[in-house]
C-alpha cells in the first residue's frame, strides 16, 4: 500500500510519496532548515475519508509513539525530523504532514 506525504507549510520539505508493504517499517523524513527557537515540530496524518489526526509534537530528541508502533526523531540542530512507523498496516495508509508551530 502507498503512503502519501505532503508539504504542510512552505518552510518544511518532505518526500512527495513513499511506499512500503504491510509490516515493513518506513521512515518519513521532514526538513525544516528555517526552524525558529520557539517552533515545535508537529506531525499529523490525514486518513482517507476522515479529518486530520494529530500524532506528536516535539522540540528535540527521540519520542516513542505507541499509537503507531513507531517513534519520532529530531536532529540535534533541529533542522530535520523523521517519523518511523515500525509495523505499518493498511489502516496506516494516509497523507503524513510535518509542520512547525
Domain with 62, as residue range(s), is 42-100
d(CA 62, CA 76): 10
- For residues 42-49, give the mean pLDDT: 92
Prediction pTM value: 0.84
**Domain membership flag for residue 7:** no
**Domain membership flag for residue 73:** yes
What is the pLDDT, as a whole number, of residue 81?
Answer: 95
Q: Which of 72, 76, 75, 4 is nearest to 43 (CA)?
A: 72
**Domain membership flag for residue 57:** yes
The CATH number that applies at residue 55 is: 2.60.40.10
Domain count, the chain: 1
Q: How many CB atoms lie within 10 A of CB 63?
A: 18
Q: Does residue 69 surpass a pLDDT of 60?
A: yes
**Domain membership flag for residue 20:** no
**Domain membership flag for residue 75:** yes
pLDDT band at 32 (very low <50, low <70, confident <90, very high): very high
Q: Does residue 1 surpass a pLDDT of 60?
A: no
What is the pLDDT, as a whole number, of residue 8?
Answer: 47
Amino acid at each position: 500500500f502507498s503512503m502519501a506525504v505532503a508539504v504542510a507549510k512552505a518552510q518544511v520539505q518532505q518526500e512527495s510519496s513513499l511506499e512500503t508493504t504491510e509490516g515493513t517499517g518506513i521512515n518519513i523524513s521532514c526538513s525544516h532548515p528555517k526552524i525558529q527557537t520557539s517552533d515545535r515540530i508537529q506531525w499529523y496524518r490525514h486518513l482517507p475519508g476522515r479529518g486530520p489526526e494529530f500524532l506528536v509534537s516535539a522540540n528535540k530528541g527521540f519520542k516513542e509513539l505507541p499509537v503507531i508502533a513507531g517513534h519520532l526523531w529530531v536532529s540535534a540542530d533541529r533542522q530535520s525530523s523523521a517519523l518511523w512507523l515500525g509495523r505499518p498496516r493498511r489502516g496506516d495508509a494516509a497523507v503524513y504532514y510535518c509542520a512547525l508551530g
